[in-house]
Copies of this chain bind each other. A is one copy, B any other.
Amino acid sequence: MKTIRIPYAEMRAEFTRILLKNNFSEERAEKCAEIFATNSLEGIYSHGVYRFSRFVDYIRKGFVMPDAEPEKHSGAGAIEQWNGNLGPGPLNAEFCTGQAMKLASDNGIGCVAIANTNHWMRGGTYGWQAARKGYVFIGWTNTERNMPAWGAKESRLGNNPLVFAVPFGTEAIVLDFAMTQFSYGKIETLKTEGKELPFAGGFNKNNELTNRPEEILETMRGLPIGYWKGAGLSLLLDILATILSAGLSTSELSKREKEHGVSQVFIAIDLKKLKNYPSIGSTVSAIIDDFKASSTITDGAQIRYPGERVITIRNENLKHGIPVERSTWEMIQQM
């Protein structure tokens, strides 16, 4: 496999071109291409350049409606329910983030729940968007089944990614994590490389914890983070996404041919509304300074806060281009 580097602007233009060919309006094609290109620029290639062709495939198959816009279903003060009408997940999620921020500007805190939306790709995208504008962000999505309840033989829970973000100077601290210890993408990569997982990451067909990627891919029973704790959190996130949005649960979603029509929650808090707003920046800096001052187990290693690597990777990829396998890029150019 040969890796080449594509400038951000070129990747974004290529995505825009393809989306325009797939019934996106110009404005929506540009917005959506920006999200896919930024995810790649910031190192989340699995939900950027390597996911793009599947996203287009879902449009062609009618799971994702390119021109569908979210509609308000109900509202009560600082909380609103929207229907995503099966529109593109990234566009719906960006909209909901903006709407939660508007509600937060008016009420201090705002919550938008959306039903019938689609995969938001990288949840951290929306955390970065909100936090870089001065808002706290908490958001999550449900997914199809891919993780067992604690003690269960089969997967009935989703890995339901959860995002927490806070402003940090002009950047942000963004935690974006799924309820499985390792993503299936990571497990597949390790399988291809003939490597084992560093820790147990799922169950084999004998219901034993295993580090072997091929055994986990055989059962599709990923290990919840913290065993029973991550399984419990997945259940609660699914219940909340479902009831707050009046949408589909993990169980209902999983009856569909391919995952589409998921439920999501977006909560924003406007820090400018708080009396201590002027000192928040230095408070966060003091916490991070103390955190990073930990002595490390491995000599010369660094303690990193969630999202810290994104800034380094973004700068590197802006300078040198976004790394992508030549074959993937050639396929995209032919789309």
Q: A: which residues have CB within 8 A of B?
A: 73-79, 81, 106-111, 136, 148-154, 156-157, 164, 166, 173, 175, 177, 181, 199, 207, 225-227, 229-230, 232-233, 235-240, 242-244, 246, 249-251, 267, 269-271, 273-276, 279-280, 283-284, 286-287, 290-291, 293-298, 301, 303, 305-306
Quick check: B166 and A232 within 8 Å, CB to CB? no
Quick check: B108 and A235 within 8 Å, CB to CB? no
Q: Which residues of B contact A226 (CB under 8 A)?
A: 177, 181, 225-226, 230
Closest Cβ of chain B to A291, distance in Å, is: 6
Q: Which residues of B contact A230 (CB under 8 A)?
A: 225-226
Closest Cβ of chain B to A89, distance in Å, is: 22
Given the interface pairs A153-B297, A225-B226, the reply to whether A240 lies near B275 with Cβ below 8 Å is no
- Given pairs A109-B109, A225-B229, A246-B279, 17 additional interface contacts (CB within 8 A): A75-B108, A78-B109, A79-B109, A79-B274, A149-B303, A151-B301, A153-B295, A166-B239, A173-B235, A177-B229, A225-B225, A239-B284, A242-B287, A246-B276, A249-B283, A251-B286, A251-B287
With beta carbons under 8 angstroms apart, the residue of B111, B225, B240, B250 that contacts A108 is B111
Given the interface pairs A108-B77, A166-B243, the reply to whether A232 lies near B175 with Cβ below 8 Å is yes
Measured CA separation A3–B306 after assembly (Å): 46
Quick check: A244 and B269 within 8 Å, CB to CB? yes
Quick check: B275 and A246 within 8 Å, CB to CB? yes
Measured CA separation A266–B149 after assembly (Å): 27
Count copies of this chain in the complex: 2
Quick check: A236 and B269 within 8 Å, CB to CB? no
Measured CA separation A25–B111 after assembly (Å): 39
Quick check: B76 and A290 within 8 Å, CB to CB? no
The residue on B at minimum CB distance from A106 is B77
Given the interface pairs A156-B290, A251-B287, A283-B243, the reply to whether A76 lies near B108 with Cβ below 8 Å is yes
Measured CA separation A232–B207 after assembly (Å): 29
Q: Which residues of B contact A275 (CB under 8 A)?
A: 73-74, 81, 246
Q: Which residues of B contact A225 (CB under 8 A)?
A: 225-227, 229-230
In order of increasing CB-CB distance, the 10 nearest A-B pairs are: A225-B226, A79-B108, A74-B275, A152-B294, A76-B273, A246-B276, A77-B107, A76-B108, A164-B236, A251-B290
Closest Cβ of chain B to A144, distance in Å, is: 13
Closest Cβ of chain B to A159, distance in Å, is: 12
Q: Which residues of B contact A279 (CB under 8 A)?
A: 246
Measured CA separation A318–B219 after assembly (Å): 43
With beta carbons under 8 angstroms apart, the residue of B227, B239, B249, B294 that contacts A153 is B294
Given the interface pairs A233-B177, A246-B276, A297-B153, the reply to whether A78 lies near B78 with Cβ below 8 Å is yes
Q: Which residues of B contact A229 (CB under 8 A)?
A: 177, 181, 225
With beta carbons under 8 angstroms apart, the residue of B77, B166, B227, B276 that contacts A199 is B227
Which of A151, A154, A239, A293 has the most chain B CB atoms closer than 10 A to its own CB? A239
With beta carbons under 8 angstroms apart, the residue of B238, B298, B303, B306 that contacts A236 is B306
Measured CA separation A271–B245 after assembly (Å): 11
Q: Which residues of B contact A148 (CB under 8 A)?
A: 294
Supply 23 A–B pairs (Cβ within 8 Å), ascending by A: A75-B108, A76-B270, A76-B273, A77-B78, A78-B109, A81-B274, A107-B107, A109-B267, A136-B244, A148-B294, A150-B303, A153-B297, A156-B290, A156-B294, A166-B236, A166-B239, A166-B243, A175-B232, A181-B227, A225-B225, A239-B284, A246-B275, A249-B283
